[in-house]
Chains A and B, each alone.
Chain A
Amino acid sequence: MSEGHVASRKVLNRFGGLTGLRLAGIVVLLAGALAFPVVYPSPTATNYGVYALIFVAVASAWNFFSGFSGYISLGHAVFFGSGAYALGIAARDWHVTGSGVFALLPLCAVVGALIAVPFGLIALRVRRHTFIVITIAVFFIFQLMAYNFSFTGGTTGLDAPFLPWAAATYNNPFYYIALGCAVGAIAMAWLIRRSRFGLQLRAIRDDEDRARGLGVRAMRVKLTAFVLSGAVTALVGGVWFFYLTQVQPPSGFDPLFDLSVVLMAFLGGIGTVSGPVLGALIIEPGQLYLTANTNGYISEILLGALFLAAVLLMPRGIIPTGGEYFRRLTTRGRAAIPAIPPASQRAAAPSGPRSDEGATREDGALEAARRRAGETL
């Protein structure tokens, strides 16, 4: 084995779990994403790209809280809208103009994080449907505040500072900023999933009380994920506002936003890193296309139908289900994934217990290995 090969293996090991093929796939995807505005320079195409990437970022951020912890938030529009309003208010009150407004984006993240702390401290005390109801309630409180406060511009909302850029390439800087947000959010999701923190989140999803009894400080873990997720969502909300150039209460705090983001994660594969990315890349351009080419309500009806179909037919999402299918194809006719522990380990436990349901265990382990193969894609 050459030294270069050994060195590259070490690098791969450092990125534990990233096989050569997968790393190559990521590089190709990233190169494609970087080249997209060059290959498809029309504003229509780049507009699709900006929106798709905004939702890739938001769906990933939603997922590394809700997907990993099992706390389904239907109130992430609170962060998205607050980020948008924070940028608009700061630019207006501090008289920031032109591309200098981009420098205010970190402020959006800070505002998102600051809102997430009290929001999380209240909502994360309860679980499951009660949590969902509280997130919806907080969402409507924020929408009402946006309508009724004067500093938010009331029903007319806020306009973003004008950018004197050429129309033909106007979208490109936004595209690359949105791409940066998307890559950042995906990287965060990936790092969290691999970390001890991510493991604790997933343990909370399975059995929070049991996790607490094993030393997991559940509130701290959940709140940290909620704050990180809220900060990223708010930052992306700021990008969205500046790109769209305006925000009103029903667009900044839009219930359809929450449904779309949840659908993206569910369709692609909730709790996986790549699932929400895939879901966002399917749904957001689809929605834009339908909105542009049909009556507006058709896209909403189709969105609802897709949600139902995804939940009923593929409850685990495309990535886990597809991964499982792919595994089944590639292992057909061969000895499948080793379901039985290696002989050396079995020999190490001669008095080991025999399964009460021994006949089904092998099938179960095989199924498990397949599921894992799909879920960690």
Chain B
Amino acid sequence: MSILLRTDGLHKSYGGVRALDTCTIEVGEGTVAGLIGPNGSGKTTLFNVITGYAKADAGEVYLADRRITNIAPDKVFALGIGRTFQLTRIFPSLTVMENMLVASQHSRSGARKRAMEQLEFVGIAGYHGTLAGTLSYGQRKLLELAYVLVADPAIILLDEPAGGVNLSLVNHIAARIRELNAAGKTFLIVEHNMEFVMGLCHQVTVLDSGTVVAAGPPEIVRTDRRVLDAYLGEDIEDAEEDSGEADDGASR
């Protein structure tokens, strides 16, 4: 498996706060990679640095073997990295179809056809003439995924795709990601929903204070002591204790 996206020792500070500190990650081609970590651990900053929205103070970003450190977002996109945002960002005064066409690099008629295919794929084709600003939050999430897909990027960075949406929509989004991945698309996903991450990702990288504290298959990462300390620890232990108490109660 070749490495499609790689960061090498990224540093990024905001004032006195170190958002990224020697951050090195790798995403294999054709995989679904997860990026987890507590709030403020640098996940979105890493996305911003990779996609050109923030400049790295030091370190490098590579797409395949090409160095893409600190290039502008439009160039990053043109090179084949699409992303969504934690707080969904669509163009509210444009129709759903117009939103799709903003991202499309195809000719006019080809662009509409491909845009419609992607809207059908995510399940909101019926809204193509509707103003995007009137869509529900979940539909906006799907629109954002669809218009990133329309340009056929090599890798898609999703920032909390399951955040703030209901369970059926989470499953719908997960199913779409699986389908795309089966067709060869590579993903890097930031997500707090552990069930979503552990069920979907082939590899998981854990960030804490801007540094990678663990990386590997989800089942290994899940039991890593450093990860439990940094992020999952309390929740899992609490959950286990809670469940243990419940079991005890039931057995009495």
Contacts and interface: CB of A to CB of B under 8 A. Distances in A.
B126 A206 contact: no
Interface in B164-200: 165-166, 168-169, 172, 175
B124 A352 contact: yes
Contacts of B92: 206
B163 interface: no
Contacts of B101: 196, 199
Interface centre among A209, A212, A367 (most CB of B within 10 A): A212
A361 interface: yes
Nearest to B134: A364
Nearest to B101: A199
Interface stretch (B28-36, B70-78, B202-210, B239-247): B70-78
Q: Is the interface of A mostly helix, strand, loop or mixed?
A: helix
B94 A348 contact: no
B151 interface: yes
Given A213-B53, A214-B103, A368-B133, A341 B77 contact: no
Interface of A: 196, 199-200, 202-203, 205-207, 209-218, 339-342, 345-346, 348-349, 351-358, 361, 364-365, 367-369, 371-372
A364 B139 CA distance: 13
B251 interface: no
Given A206-B91, A211-B102, A215-B151, A353 B130 contact: no
Nearest to B123: A352
Contacts of B89: 207, 209-210
B221 to A, nearest CB: 29
Contact of B168 (A215, A342, A353): A353
A206 B123 contact: no
A81 B127 CA distance: 47
Given A202-B94, A368-B134, A214 B102 contact: yes
19 contacts: A196-B101, A199-B98, A200-B102, A203-B94, A203-B99, A206-B91, A206-B94, A209-B53, A212-B74, A213-B74, A215-B78, A341-B126, A346-B126, A352-B126, A352-B172, A353-B142, A354-B169, A368-B131, A372-B95
B53 A199 contact: no
Interface centre among B78, B125, B128 (most CB of A within 10 A): B125
B136 interface: yes
A217 B74 contact: yes
B120 to A, nearest CB: 6
Interface residues of B, number: 53
A371 B132 CA distance: 12
Interface string B71-112: 011101110001101000111111100110111010010000
Contacts of A357: 136-137
A353 B103 contact: no
B67 to A, nearest CB: 20
Nearest to A220: B74
Contact of B126 (A213, A216, A342, A354): A342
A349 B123 contact: yes
Given A207-B89, A341-B127, A214 B136 contact: no
B168 A354 contact: yes
B73 A212 contact: yes
Contact of B51 (A203, A213, A341): A213
Q: Which 3 A-B pairs have the closest CB atoms?
A: A341-B126, A352-B123, A364-B134
Contact of B139 (A199, A215, A355): A355
A367 B172 CA distance: 28
B62 to A, nearest CB: 19
Given A212-B73, A349-B124, A356-B166, A369 B130 contact: yes
Interface centre among B77, B127, B137, B168 (most CB of A within 10 A): B127
B55 to A, nearest CB: 14
B74 A216 contact: yes
B129 interface: yes
A340 B85 CA distance: 27
A327 B172 CA distance: 36
A349 B102 contact: no
A236 B10 CA distance: 53
A68 to B, nearest CB: 11
Contact of A199 (B74, B102, B168): B102
Contacts of A202: 91, 93-94, 98
Interface in B43-78: 51-53, 72-74, 76-78
Contact of B138 (A339, A353, A368): A353
Contacts of B93: 202, 205-206
A369 B110 CA distance: 25
Contacts of A348: 120, 125
